A and B are shown apart, each in its own frame.
Chain A
Amino acid sequence: MLRPLTRLTVSLRLARAPTHAHHGFPAAAAAPFTTTTAAPLKQMPPRPKPPPESDLEESFLKGSGPGGQKINKTSSAVQIKHIPTGIVIKSQATRSRSENRKIARSLLALRLDELANGDQSRTAIVGGAKKKRSDSAAKKSRRKYKKLAEEAAEATGKETTLKQAEEVDVEEGKAAEQEAAERVMQSETGNNTNAQK
């Protein structure tokens, strides 16, 4: 039972060894199994630390009516205000009050980082990297369909297909754009941020 497994890991390790060496990862000599190494991501700036509690004014959004046992609120939205800048962040992403407090603080930290560092902020760098990735994916798919269309044109020997390829091209670009927009929407759901100046 054990023998084929060991042999497999050895062969895997041998196959991977140059990759590890190339990217500077320590060789996993002790680990019995190695997982597939993902393409090394560029080091992103760390998440900024939230400002000290003394700079914050926290409020829990509640109705004006009675509280406690008399009502049963499902949402425990948290709103924090950063006193020095006047930035207000509201979070109702989860049902948990404690979780919402943490989320509001990390969103505020990102916001302050954006203000302080501009293009060098984490949001800008991560956003830029994401855009680059989606752009290159869109470019790849454009090339693929262009090539397919060209092949089809060669096969049928008709010249009109060139026009169709361009149409596909445009549609593909739109789909990628829409997908990116949706992703942004998802990540923002439940976290409304707005600045008061």
Chain B
Amino acid sequence: MPRLPPSLFWRARREISPMATYLLKACRDLESTANELRWIREHVRATPSPVFPGLRTWNLCERRGKGVPLQYVLGTQPFGNLDIKCRPGVLIPRPETEAYTLHLASLLSQEQQSSPAPLSILDLCTGTGCIPLLLLSSLLTPPAAPPKITIHALDISPLAISLATHNHAHNTALNLLPPPTPQTPHTLTFTRANIFHPLPAPPHHQQPGGTIDLLTANPPYISPAAFATDTSRAVRNHEPRLALVPDTSTSTLTDYAAAYNCLPQDIFYARLLECAAELRPRRVFLEVGDMAQAVRVVGMVLRDGGAGLGGYYATVEIWRDEPEVERVEMRRIAGREVGVRGEGKGRGVYLFQGDV
């Protein structure tokens, strides 16, 4: 990381504010420094406190300047129309996740418009609970509210489960999520579970005789080497490694890597595809780190080791950062034409039982 010239600090002080000199250390350019200072001031104005506002702004700027992610400093991150609380120890929701979650919700809504049916969704490695919460909020918007929505979300971290539960209550209190009514019955449960153990017994993930309509997961997908070199400092120093890098110090995970002959960063996909083979959800979306990883995961789906998943899912697609953009290019992976949808970098693998 190149050193910032002192003149830039003087300019930040002169053109923005003396507080900006703290922020500049973390933001590294004047535009984002001005933005973050504005957001910090808006936060101070919006949240009443007995502490003098100037002092609070100064404290927050100082913390941010030390490299703490802004979302941990302010305690929130907007996600779709929701306000997601963030706490150290739980991964901060990313805008890419927001983009594909909204796209998945619009696909489900379209389907609901033509044939309304109860929906069952399972989200693994849920973290703040941002994916199930946004799916729920988008699906409940009027034109195509399904008759019934059941969502189960699992995470290994007790911190994540308590934060996700809190986020559910927080967004309901803010009226961003409607409470369940007889007209729109919905349940959303967060359960602590290790997905490498057998998944919690029904009804946690399966209604008797029912199918899962959507399985989503944003698992840890960074290799230990990439964690050391590719991640930004705020991520490396402040966000939980548990949510970013598969923990290869445990034998459960290394056994998977050996059994499926996959790279350490792909271990979770081996297990997630195993879950998909067992539960047979109608749609699956797995977030990945880049195009190379997306291709590897598609390879895992299509090869024989994928437990016949390739035959089960008629649609196998790779989604880029902005899947809403109507652009599909075809790419040949493991002997099958796979659509690459949207714009940006490779962001996820989408499996669907039916045709697009």
Contacting B322 at CB < 8 Å: which of A60, A65, A99? A60
Write the chain A residue with the least CB distance to B239.
A72
Write the chain B residue with the least CB distance to A73.
B95
B61: min CB distance to chain A, Å: 13
Chain B residues near A75 (CB, 8 Å)? Answer: 32, 35-36
Is A44 among interface residues, defined by CB-CB distance under 8 A? no
B73: min CB distance to chain A, Å: 10
Contact (Cβ within 8 A) A67 B345: yes
A21 and B35 alpha carbons, distance in the complex (Å): 48
A189: min CB distance to chain B, Å: 6
* Contacts known (A69-B221, A70-B230, A72-B92); A94 close to B71, Cβ less than 8 A: no
Is A96 among interface residues, defined by CB-CB distance under 8 A? yes
Contact (Cβ within 8 A) A74 B80: no
* Contacts known (A60-B95, A76-B95, A190-B35); A71 close to B231, Cβ less than 8 A: yes
B170: min CB distance to chain A, Å: 16
A149: min CB distance to chain B, Å: 37
Chain B residues near A60 (CB, 8 Å)? Answer: 95, 99, 321-322, 344
Chain B residues near A98 (CB, 8 Å)? Answer: 78, 80-81, 98
Interface size range on B against A: 35 or more
A58 and B325 alpha carbons, distance in the complex (Å): 9
Contact (Cβ within 8 A) A69 B289: yes
Contacting B78 at CB < 8 Å: which of A71, A72, A97, A189? A97
Contacting B344 at CB < 8 Å: which of A62, A70, A189, A190? A62
Q: List 17 A-B contacts (CB under 8 A).
A: A58-B322, A60-B95, A62-B321, A67-B344, A68-B221, A68-B290, A69-B221, A69-B289, A72-B94, A73-B94, A74-B35, A74-B71, A95-B39, A96-B78, A97-B99, A98-B80, A99-B78
Name the 6 nearest CB pairs between A and B, nearest first: A96-B78, A74-B70, A71-B232, A76-B95, A70-B231, A72-B235
Residues of A within 8 A of B (CB): 58-60, 62, 65-76, 92, 94-99, 189-190
